[in-house]
Chains A and B, each alone.
Chain A
Amino acid sequence: MTIKVKAKLSDGVVNVKLLMKHPMETGRRIDTATGNKIPAHHVNELTCTWKGEVLFRSNLGPAVSKNPYLSFKVKGPKSGDELLFSSVDNKGETDQGKVIIP
C-alpha cells in the first residue's frame, strides 16, 4: 500500500490529499547509460470509494508529475468513516491506500 492519504474534515467538507509512489515514466525519456528509451510507465486511474460508492475518480496521463499528487473535496463522509483508494497503471499494476477521516 503506497498510496498515502490525508483527509481533513471541516464545515462538512472533506479535503482529501493523496500522494502515490510512482515513477510516471513518459516513454520519451532516454536512458543515458544504455541510449534506449525508457518504456512508458504511469498511473492510469485513481479511484476513491466510500461505503462502496465511488466518490471520485481520476484518469492520469504521463504528464502528471513523478509521485503523483491529487487533491479533491467531497461532501458526505463523516468523521470516523473510511475512504478506500485504488490505482492501476499502464502495466496493469495496482496499488491501494486508505484513510479514516479524523
Chain B
Amino acid sequence: MKSIMLSKYFASGLVTFTLGLCSACMAADQADFDALWNEANEKRKAAAAINYEWRDTGEFLETAKKEQAAGNHTVALALIAKALEQGSDALAQAEREKDLWQARVPK
C-alpha cells in the first residue's frame, strides 16, 4: 500500500521535473507532500508516546521539509519514505518486545 503510494509520488515528482514549472502540479505536489509528511509524523509520534521513537526519524522529517521548500521533491519524498519505514519498524519492535523482554531477565 505504502510503496504504491510512494511510487506514485516519485512518478509525479518526475513528471513535474520533466515538464518544468506547472503551478497546478506544484500545488498538488505540496498537498501530497503534506499528507505523506503528516502520516510519517503521526507514526513517529505514536512510537514516541511509548518511548520507542528512533533517533534519526525526527531529523529525516525536518530535513524533508527543508528539501521540499527548496524544491527538491524527490529527495524530500525519499526522506519521508525513510521516516515512515522507521516509524513502522519502531512500532513493530515495541509490539514484538512486549513478550520477548522477560526472557532476558537473569533467573
Touching chains A and B, CB distance < 8 Å: no
Residues of chain A touching chain B, judged by Cβ–Cβ distance below 8 Å, are none
Residues of chain B touching chain A, judged by Cβ–Cβ distance below 8 Å, are none
